[in-house]
């Protein structure tokens, strides 16, 4: 799904760039970054590590690409979860049975009714970290 790349880039652009102040009244300040419920939620839920790239991108990717089946946290309770029989990724037995590389491979290659996703490597790594962070939740 190469077509996803522009979407991710667009999200990145939307998250990081704001229109320059046209009237010169006010410059962007670091405080602005904390505005908005989405940013705050991403900060709370997203993986903190640097390995996965910007948390807001990971969070946006999860919500747009994964949550329909796997749900907001990963319990498999998204709107399409039952139809696809999406597994609960937070379960201890699942978490302890797979290596990070195996999770990344499923995202990249797909598995059964799980579609494959052509995402940049840092985004895949960030999704793996997000799934790990949901362990036992
Ligand atoms: C269309 C529904 C659907 C979407 C969208 C989806 N998944 Fe899945 N996912 C599944 C199903 C169904 C399985 C079970 C596959 C199987 O075991 O046959 C699965 C399994 C998984 C697994 C467990 C693999 C394993 O080792 O057993 C992971 C991890 C996963 N998905 C991550 C993701 C991520 C990350 C995304 C978003 C990039 C995503 N999924 C999007 C349906 C989906």
Residue 26: inside a domain: no
Domain residues for the domain of 99 are 4-18+49-133
Burial class (CB in 10 A: 0-12, 13-18, 19+), 78: buried
Position 16 scores a pLDDT of 46
Residue 87: inside a domain: yes
pLDDT digit of tens for each residue in the chain (137 aa)?
455 555 555 555 444 444 444 555 666 666 666 555 554 444 444 444 454 458 899 999 999 999 999 999 999 999 999 999 999 999 999 999 999 999 999 999 999 999 999 999 999 999 999 999 999 99
Overall pTM > 0.75: no
Position 101 scores a pLDDT of 98
Position 11 scores a pLDDT of 52
Residue 56: inside a domain: yes
Structural domains of the chain, count? 1
Q: From the CB of 122, is ligand 1 less than 6 Å away?
A: no
What CATH number is attached to the domain comprising 70? 1.10.760.10
Residue 114: inside a domain: yes
Mutate to test the pocket of ligand 1, among 70, 81, 102 (most ligand atoms within 8 A of CB): 70
CA of 86 to the centre of ligand 1 (A): 6
Residue 82: inside a domain: yes
Residue 32: inside a domain: no
Residue 25: inside a domain: no
Tokens in use for 89? 């990724």
Residue 110: inside a domain: yes
Position 31 scores a pLDDT of 63
Atom of ligand 1 nearest to the CA of 117: 38
């Amino acid at each position: 799904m190469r077509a996803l790349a522009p979407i991710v880039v667009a999200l990145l652009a939307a998250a990081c760039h704001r229109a320059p102040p046209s009237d010169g009244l006010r410059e962007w300040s670091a405080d602005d970054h904390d505005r908005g419920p989405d940013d705050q939620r991403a900060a709370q839920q997203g993986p903190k590590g640097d390995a996965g790239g910007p948390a807001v991108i990971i969070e946006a990717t999860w919500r747009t690409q994964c949550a329909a089946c796997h749900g907001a946290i990963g319990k498999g309770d998204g709107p399409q979860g039952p139809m696809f029989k999406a597994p609960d990724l937070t379960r201890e037995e699942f978490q302890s049975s797979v290596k990070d590389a195996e999770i990344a491979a499923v995202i990249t290659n797909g598995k059964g009714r799980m579609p494959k996703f052509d995402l940049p490597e840092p985004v895949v790594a960030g999704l793996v970290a997000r799934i790990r962070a949901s362990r036992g939740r």
